[in-house]
Structure 1
């Protein structure tokens, strides 16, 4: 294997010919994959029952169970495994049968090794997309059933963030999520919690706390609870958020706003799994995992004495950075589609998409408020719009500035020019091509081109 410490994927090779089996195993190992190689279908199914494999690379013609039967049996014990069959006798019929039974690709003998590497890598990419789509479908189902939210994005930066969330979710590690306001830090924290519950269901709750939104003198009471008689009006014990979360997750947003005194108590909750409710003489045990988020540079805050250095290092075991929306514009179409569909369902509207002109405006906007600003803009469009598509007039004025009133001038010539330009632009949007636009305007095609150049109309 190369210097890579983590294998690209784990491959199960099944071939009864030792030279082919050993050659494939050695080649794939050198390419950076973890490989298990066996000679029979029975051995393959037994190994698949013990270990999860990303790809099954299996000869069709095996003694005992043939490749298709092996594929079907492996699918029962390891359903996420992708399958590539090897055959020396490929026919249309066998290929169709293989794909119908669940194969994803096949190789012809004699085997060309660089072709094997390319096909395996394509399968791995397909597997990654498949797994992400499975997770997105589960999340979408959760949003429809429970009114939750989800993280959407296929840009490299978002795929990296989602992959980190998937990897760290099943662990007990603290996580620090970094990003500007409105980038979806709480949604990513929920994704980490969902991955944790999927791996080991505990029934624990996800509770989010905005540290900047609660007065400092009430924050400890909210987080850790209080004992009877701790202050005027405390006539009974009250559990805090850590107790309510149980074996779940406490998400502390804007952690940089936490007072230094409360930071010390939070550090104890993380390290020793115990808290002191307000007015208590004895600590209470807690189980909740802590996730935190900030839009501040906590290392700088710690260096300048505004944040505890030991707490910073304890929180920063794994950090996930969420990029601002302006740096992942390739995610905008998917985000727009998802948010529009979500709000259309909740409002009972029939708006099914975005017009080309409105999409161009949405793609060009700087989105300083990130996903939150986009979400608000699309809600406004649904409230104001009447057609099946979002139009520029449905968008906020800062995204789609309204054209100047052509009659807002005294000079007749200027007013005529403004109106003519607006009218030509409207016809160009409506017509299938410039020739038809010229007919609709009642002018020649060459005259239309002159007008386009005169007014600097973008087409």
Structure 2
């Protein structure tokens, strides 16, 4: 059984106009629909305004003359302002919701040549969202004006999955965006690649805050800037990228730097200052190490993020700034919230999109493509191509991917290492000898921190009773001494836990370094207060 064709469209008060006999000399879109040789219209739902009722009735008569098999239903739309998008869409939506669509017996065409631009957009959206089942219908006049010629018509199916070329372009655009975020580096780590895929979608679809976590040097700042540049290329932001490390902000200077101040707000405030939040208007504000912000600054930031306004220091008038916030931290803010160092409401506000960037040691398969990328960048900087010998590259990667390579500074360490190799390479060749010297340097670099940690004697007799101390194996004694040494250098229990479990914490879904350390100390009957003094 062939389906009957139903067309839905607005009356064109200008294009369809004409009440005298001369109307047949001009092209009228609504009439032309019913004159197409290869388009049999069984029913036309003609939407119109009350004031155009006379014209609508004339069109009914004219269509009956050229296509007697077409039934025309006049649908009066009570729209006060045809240029009010909200009003037009609401009226159309209500009509569509009540319309008895029957896709088993009818096929639907939505005419978008007539009506205001607002009406055409609303019809497009209703078809695209499938509230109106079917496709769009567009009509156009004949190329050469000829009396009575119906012109042409085109059907537009908004199911883009049917258009391979368009689908391929969408796929390619997404692929290019992901490669842009990765700086063109062919990373191989599945976890990291999946993370960047999602960040790409969020970056181009959302203006909500984003929280980037991970160890120092994992690339949080670089990724934040790339996200901004991607958004700017899509015309989603027009303002600048503003970056500040919150760990550098102290005292009155913290609030002043971020929120600005009025002249005379505090000693030394000799002139008004706009502040970085205002500078980031219509752009992106990247607050690195956001966990270092003081309590007052956290409260002010929450208001600025939620309401897009805040009070500069010394001012009683709020200012506005519409920016997107990207925050970075190498701390576990969940622990900081639990221990009262970070506001729970601010954490909840910035925690909609949270991504943990893995450290370099957790991405051994990505070391080779990153080394190649850094060498290519060094070649651009120096104007000289630099390459490893096969033996040298194998030796470097073998060490870099081993457990001996700590990469405590992550990409900062790797970038510095490759820069040294590229600078010292004779004739643009990195030899096995040069690699061997670099590996010795890296071993020395990563041994400095344990050596510093070993400085200072720990007398366990000051924290343990003599009888308990006498029962400890040498292994437990040495391990406990090292743990107590770290605790005495750390500011808090959480800080000590982060240092002691710096590698294994990355593999855990739920991280609670403080609890792990507390349980370890409890095995010896010790508490944080007992060992941190």
TM-score normalised by structure 2 residue count: 0.50
1:80 to 169, 175, 179: 169
1:376 alignment partner, one of 383, 396, 416: 416
- Contact in 1 for aligned 2:177/2:200 (Cα 8 Å): no
- SS of 1:176's equivalent in the other structure is strand
Matched, 1:356 2:356: no
Cα contact 1:226–1:280 (8 A) shared by 2:
yes
1:226 aligns to what SS in structure 2? coil
Is 1:385 aligned to 2:422, yes or no? Answer: no
1:396 deviates by 7.9
3-state DSSP of counterpart to 1:80: helix
**Alignment of structure 1 residues 1-150 onto 2, 5 Å:** 46-48=156-158, 53=160, 55-56=161-162, 75=166, 80=169, 127=171, 130-131=172-173, 133-135=175-177, 138=180
Contact 2:178 2:197 in 1 (8 A): no
Question: Which of structures 1 and 2 has the bigger CA Rg?
Answer: 2
* 1:165 corresponding residue in structure 2: 199
8 Å Cα contact 1:246-1:286 kept in structure 2: yes
2:359 — aligned with what?
324
Q: Which residue does 1:97 correspond to in 2?
A: none
- C-alpha distance in structure 2 between counterparts of 1:199 and 1:277, whole Å: 32
Q: Distance in 1 between matches of 2:184 and 2:350?
A: 23
Q: Would the aligned equivalents of 2:181 and 2:196 in 1 still touch at CA under 8 Å?
A: no
Partner of 1:412: none
How far residue 199 of structure 1 moved from its aligned partner, in angstroms, is 3.6
Summarize the Cα distance change of 1:131–1:153 in structure 2 as closer, same or farther, 3 Å threshold: farther
Alpha-carbon shift at residue 217 of structure 1 (Å): 3.2
User: TM-score normalised to the size of structure 1?
Assistant: 0.57
Q: CA deviation at 1:151?
A: 7.2
Cα distance change of structure 1 residues 311 and 252 upon mapping to structure 2, 3 Å threshold: same
Between the aligned partners of 1:258 and 1:223, the Cα distance in structure 2 is 11
RMSD: 3.5
Matches of 1:282 and 1:389 in 2, distance apart? 63
- Contact 1:208 1:251 survives alignment (8 Å): yes
Q: Deviations over 1:78-133 (max 9, x none)?
A: 6615xxxxxxxxxxxxxxxxxxxxxxxxxxxxxxxxxxxxxxxxxxxxx5xx5565
Return 5+ residue gaps in structure 2 as ranges. Answer: 1-128, 139-152, 444-533
Asked whether the equivalents of residues 340 and 378 of structure 1 are also in contact (C-alpha less than 8 Å), the reply is yes
Is the 1:165–1:188 contact (alpha carbons within 8 Å) kept by the matching residues of 2? no
SS at match of 2:286: strand
Question: Which secondary structure does the structure 1 equivalent of 2:169 belong to?
Answer: coil
Who is 1:204 aligned against?
Answer: 239
- The alignment of Structure 1 onto Structure 2 pairs a total of residues equal to 295
Q: CA deviation at 1:349?
A: 2.6
Counterpart Cα distance in 1 of 2:177 and 2:184: 10
Counterpart in the other structure of 2:214 = 179
- 1:288-303 aligned at under 5 Å gives the runs 288-303=323-338
CA offset digits 1:13-43 (Å, max 9, x no partner): xxxxxxxxxxxxxxxxxxxxx99x999xx99
State yes or no: 1:399 paired with 2:439: yes
Structure 2 distance, partners of 1:187, 1:342, is 15
Q: Which residue of structure 2 lines up, in the alignment, with residue 153 of structure 1?
A: 187
**Which residue in 1 is equivalent to 2:306?**
271
Taking a change above 3 Å as real, the CA distance of residues 45 and 291 of structure 1, as seen in their structure-2 partners, is farther
Counterpart CA distance in 2 for 1:297 and 1:321 is: 10
| Contact 2:285 2:323 (8 Å CA) reproduced | yes
- Structure 1 residue 383: Cα displacement: 1.5
Alpha carbons 1:380, 1:394 under 8 Å: kept: no
Paired residue for 1:367? Answer: 407
Q: Identify which range, 324-333 or 209-218, moves more after superposition.
A: 209-218
User: C-alpha distance in 2, partners of 1:208/1:391?
Assistant: 39
